[in-house]
Structure 1
Amino acid sequence: MQNLTTSFLGEDGWRSVVKNISFDVGAGETVALVGESGSGKSVTSLSVMRLLQPDTSRIEGNILLAGKDILQLSEQEMQKIRGNDVAMIFQEPMTSLNPLYTVGDQICEALLCHRNMSKAEAKAEALRLMEKVRIPSAASRFNEYPHRFSGGMRQRVMIAMALVTRPKLLIADEPTTALDVTIQGQILDLIKTLQEEEGTSVLFITHDMGVVAEVADRTVVMYHGDAVETGDTTTIFRDAKHPYTRALLSAVPALGSMTGRVRPLRFPVVDIRTGTALPPVEAADTVAQDVPPVLDVKGLTTRFTIHSGLFGKLAGRVHAVENVSFSLQPGETLSLVGESGCGKSTTGRSIMRLIEPQSGSVMVNGQDVMAMAGHELQGLRRTMQMIFQDPYASLNPRMRVGASIAEPFLEHKLGTKHQARERVADLLERVGLKADMASRFPHEFSGGQRQRICIARALALDPKLIVADESVSALDVSIKAQVINLLLDLQSSLNLSFLFISHDMAVVERLSHRVAVMYLGEIVEIGPRAAVFENPQHPYTKKLMAAVPVPDPARRGMRRGQIADELHSPVRVPDYVPVERQMREVSEGHFIFQ
């Protein structure tokens, strides 16, 4: 890449968002592109693939692939390269998968277009890769549609699509963002193995400095469209020169930082100009144990039926959530952690009644959510809000973001349109955006910026309970620190309760009072944060801890050896009767289920 400059046409003319950057990716090499959301990382990758709208974008410079300048190729020649010589794993899987086609057909498409294969051969290869990226029951899920998969499962489908043709260059735009740590480790191992077997080069775009340390040979740091620092990954981690690079490294949460502390811990506040970080302080909130819980869940069970054959005979059920029970006190944060597809998001959606559970009770402020319907349920939702996992899928692409944030405020008749505009401006500022961005549409923001918009919308009604489904997974480290500090401040000032669904164990350790570990739809361990992190008892909890990426370049090339693990599936036969788990108390409030 030589002197790449990418500009977009706006009302005030052409505006450059990637400015004169140059770097190489060698054969079999991994180069990491890191920086804040909106810094130009994804635009750089889209420029390489030539996927930007030609009438509103302009790409200048040279992009050489094996010596051939792809900016000079015709669109027909470019089609032969996309998905074949160069493949891309996109940041938001739901916007990249076609909802009208099964995931199997979409994985096979690249093979049928670029390889001389029959449909049967293409299906066999697609199934092999689906199993390799650890999609449980790959054969039975081959003909399912994207909406039947969790966010993490959809990301694994995207990875399978990108790897299926064994490309020369793989552009991975936040490929592990939606994945829990165990699957993230397996995917990183898979990409390393592909490099060794095929000599594949990887341009790895991420905000996770732990991942950068483990996979990247060289690192390019981007800030406001400029490449501010480039060099060997080990050198950058140990002797960063630019203040912004030092700021990024300072904001990386490390597992174990909460040892010996009781309360949630604010993230370091970083001065971008100097790269220095103020020492983190404990959040000032305390949890009242002698008052009724905000949320009380008992025996929650949610299953999805699977039909097959010409007449739709019942073939089985997905036991997504099985007999889950917990409570949440005012001002408390309970984190749900576990593998993608383990039932975390389904639990959150079942509590909100966005999915209808089969059985169980959900009490919010003493009111039975399961017994409500219509306006009564809508009124209760003012006190409980949800931040969804996929920000683009949860925003209306035809509505300006200001209108999306104001919609719940106006729907619940909390004020006038003028008051709604003031509320929107205040919320955008509080989540680190500018008030004048309210007039933009969702597609004009980066993935991280869209997630901040969704957080602002959830806060519009001043709720007492927020179900945060991977609410900071799409954010880079510096913005993640700001948003989590914001959530802690709001929790302290408004006595908010959070059901925090996440796969980022370091973040969970920072902000949780209690932690519940889920596996195949069941809670296998639950207890105070210190007890679970410092004395994990269940084998799966120990496995989660061991898989957390560490920001240490000395671990580059390390293998976790988890790909060969047995694949487990929550799919059961129709007459399956769940096993009753035995609960054992390890210490006060710390339970495991076996």
Structure 2
Amino acid sequence: MASETIGNGAASPVLSVKGLTTSFRVGDGWKSVVRDMSFDVAPRETVAIVGESGSGKSVTSLSIMRLLQKNSSRIEGKVTLAGKDILSLSEEEMRHVRGKDISMIFQEPMTSLNPIFPIGKQIAEALTCHSDISFRDAKAEVLRLLEKVRIPNARGRFDEYPHQFSGGMRQRVMIAMALASRPKLLIADEPTTALDVTIQGQILDLIKQLQEEEGMSVLFITHDMGVVAEVADRTIVMFRGDVVETGTTDDIFNRGQHPYTRALLAAVPKLGSMKGQKWPLRFPIVDVATGATSEAKPVADTVHPGQTPILDVKNLTTRFAIRSGLFGRQSGAVHAVEDVSFQLAEGETLSLVGESGCGKSTTGRSITRLIEPTSGSVTLDGYNVLSLAKPDLRAMRRSIQMIFQDPFASLNPRMTIGSAVMEPFVEHGLGSKADAREKAADLLVKVGLSPDMMKRYPHEFSGGQRQRICIARSLILDPKVIVADEAVSALDVSIKAQVCNLLMDLQESLNLAFLFISHDMAVVERVSHRVAVMYLGEIVEIGPREALFENPRHPYTRKLMAAVPVPDPARRHIRRNLSTDEIRSPVRPVGYVPPKRSYIEVSPGHLVQVTEEEAALAA
């Protein structure tokens, strides 16, 4: 479908794209991945291109920037930036346009920054390349930019290297670099996808504020409809290389016509939508071809009060020694998990939430003994996990399995998926290869795949399909507990909804208990029976999902919820005013004794961490 030219017509557009078609060489021919795309971006306007992986949105931005390989790609159509046809420019002329008139922020800042140069020097290079400026003046401008993007102690961090910054702070460095030459247009390609929800909120606020101050236009590329609602004046929806719908963001969200647009919107979990709903609720799924929407059914009641927990964790502590000096003496320790206690019943989902570095993944790995805990006790299905010798540990792991965040890294690229799913069954000696093959085929059907796919390799599947394969592999030993470690965070919004629905279906049919590790509060609200919020290795609040989400008591829990993007265009001009401080370090000196924590029960089962003074007052 040829898209219409969109724009408000009030002023000459900063960027005008007409009939853009991008193709890649496949064998002896060309395959088009973006077809006949046209749109305008007006001064001070934010236009969002939204769609899932493979829709062509990132290829569109790379085509505009002319960053695709010349010998394997072909760009047709017309791209005009401030009246200049950039597709007709020589490579030398285009080099002067990039960074000066048009800048780009990429999804992964660590791969975009040079690890061997200080960040100050890298930002200064963006200035010295495009203007006749001394290094002294460039440094002064860099410090101004670092302060502008809210990096604390900018002067002290000028000579630090990328690895010394957190993910959110690295993304701020990339924004400072992109703004160095005051471009007319900023292209932001999934700039918040890999970030925690609070850091994402800070970056979105920052981009909106800098746009107002600098008067630039923004082309924002994302698959997150919540982000689109908060930043975009107008929205372009892409599906498999074509523009299927364009319009104002308000029209797209409230009066979207195309089934794919409705499918994207239906898959977005809305924080607060579970009010009054006792049990986890499946996501509605929209058929892209027909527009038909599946019913969002709740999970059946599988949790019974008073039953013996399948998993009981008490005072779990995991620390990692830091060694330094010539003789490698211990100089400190990372207090990754500190005095964590919780229980998990059969058929229950307990979610661990918090930002990167809070200790939630380390908790999951400590429970399974993939990491050796420092102290505490873990009882799983009758096993005293922390005292098990290796043969017993192997037997225990039949009761608990993990689903990891990156399914491609979890699968052997040289092993067919049939062999990968069968391997645990064969290794544990639970039957013959024929039995393993039969069970693997049955599990693939359960997770929505076909048994005839067993001969294929991991690279022949999409991300969502690979995650389904990992789920099938985790089920082949008939475990009672599954640790899902950020199992859906890397997936597109509609695939995320399908995988979450699959996990809830499996829980209902197999009575599985889930320890669901995530930083996505809106997804957690949808899938959980209970929620535990972690900060700096400690649980600061734990309770039934409805109690915790409807009455969050700890300041950190409220901060996490305030940062969640809300898919409502009416909130576009709202600023959250989130703190720009980095998460505090869990590194402690040798001999450090953490203070004893106290909890008060604010409602049945809803516990909140308090200081000793607050606990004394409550008593």
The match for 1:295 is: 311
The one of 149, 153, 174 aligned to 1:161: 174
SS in 2 for 1:296: strand
Match of 1:589 among 597, 600, 605: 605
1:438-469 Cα offsets, whole Å, 9 max, x none, are 74664x77666665555455445543322222
Cα distance change of structure 1 residues 192 and 22 upon mapping to structure 2, 3 Å threshold: same
Q: Secondary structure of 2:167's match?
A: helix
Alignment map for 1:478-493 (pairs within 5 Å): 478-493=494-509
Cα displacement string for residues 333-388 of structure 1 (whole angstroms, at most 9, x for unaligned residues): 00111223222222223223333332222333222333346555445434333233
Cα distance in 2 for residues equivalent to 1:225 and 1:581: 54
The structural deviation recorded for 1:230 is 0.9
- Partners of 1:213 and 1:553 within 8 A in 2: yes
Contact 1:18 1:226 survives alignment (8 Å): yes
Is 2:367 the partner of 1:354?
A: no
Say whether 1:280 aligns with 2:293: no
User: 2:5 maps to which residue?
Assistant: none
Distance 1:428 1:75 in 2: 51
> Which residue of the partner structure matches residue 132 of structure 1?
150
Cα distance in 1 for partners of 2:51, 2:212 equals 27
CA distance in 1 between partners of 2:493 and 2:363 (Å): 27
Distance (whole Å) between structure 2 residues aligned to residue 178 and residue 522 of structure 1: 23
Deviation at 1:108, TM superposition (A): 4.9
Using the TM superposition, name which of 364-373 and 181-190 deviates more: 364-373
Match of 1:21 in 2: 37
Cα offset, 1:475, TM superposition? 2.7
Q: Give % identity.
A: 62
Going from structure 1 to structure 2, the CA distance change for 1:33 and 1:566 (only over 3 Å counts) comes to closer
Distance 1:420 1:158 in 2: 46
Q: Compute the displacement of 1:89 (Å).
A: 4.3
- Partner of residue 177 from structure 1, selected from 193, 218, 235: 193
- The alpha carbon displacement at 1:571 in A equals 3.1
Q: 2:521: which partner in 1?
A: 505
Larger radius of gyration: 2
Correspondence for 1:326 among 331, 342, 364: 342
Shift in Å at residue 20 of structure 1? Answer: 2.0
TM-superposed CA distance for 1:128, in Å, is 4.1
Question: Which deviates further from its counterpart, 394-403 or 329-338?
Answer: 394-403
Matched, 1:40 2:53: no
SS in 1 for 2:590: coil
SS at match of 2:179: coil
Where structure 1 has 5 or more consecutive residues not aligned to the other structure, the ranges are none
Question: What's the TM-score, normalizing by structure 2?
Answer: 0.81
Structure 2's unaligned 5+ residue stretches are 1-16, 129-133, 611-619
Counterpart-to-counterpart distance in 1, 2:235 and 2:587: 42
**SS in structure 2 at match of 1:357:** coil
Q: Which has the higher contact order (CA 8 A, sep 6+)?
A: 1
Secondary structure at 2:256 match in 1:
coil
What is the aligned partner in structure 1 of residue 615 from structure 2? none
Q: Is the 8 A contact 1:406 1:421 kept in 2?
A: no
User: Residues 84-103 of structure 1: matches in 2 within 5 Å?
Assistant: 86-91=102-107, 96=111, 101=115
- Map residues 93-492 of structure 1 onto 2, 5 A cutoff: 96=111, 101=115, 105=118, 108-109=121-122, 111-112=124-125, 115=128, 117=135, 121=139, 125=143, 128=146, 132=150, 142=160, 145=163, 153-154=166-167, 156-166=169-179, 168=183, 169-306=185-322, 314-372=330-388, 374=390, 376-391=392-407, 393-394=409-410, 408=424, 411-412=427-428, 416=433, 420=437, 423=440, 427=444, 430=447, 439=456, 442=459, 451=467, 454-459=470-475, 461-492=477-508
Shift of the alpha carbon at 1:121?
A: 4.4
- Cα deviation, residue 18, structure 1: 2.2
Q: 1:155, 1:178 within 8 Å by CA — same for their partners in 2?
A: no
Q: Which deviates further from its counterpart, 303-312 or 274-283?
A: 303-312
Instruction: Please tell me the residue identity of whatever aligns with 2:238.
Output: M
* Shift, 1:282, TM fit: 1.2
Opposite residue 560 of structure 1, the aligned amino acid is R
TM-score by length of 1: 0.84
- The CA deviation string for residues 133-189 of structure 1, in whole angstroms up to 9 with x for no partner, is 6899x969955849xx9xxx4365245334434163443333323333322211111
Structure 1 counterpart of 2:12? none
Q: Distance in 1 between matches of 2:197 and 2:365?
A: 22
Instruction: Tell me the alpha carbon deviations over residues 49-73 of structure 1, each in whole angstroms, 9 at most, x when there is no partner.
Output: 4454555544333344444455455
The residue type paired with residue 571 of structure 1 is: V
Instruction: Find the partner of 2:587 among 548, 571, 574.
Output: 571
**How many residues are paired up?**
584
CA, structure 1 residues 109+428, in 2 after alignment: closer, same or farther (shift >3 Å)? farther
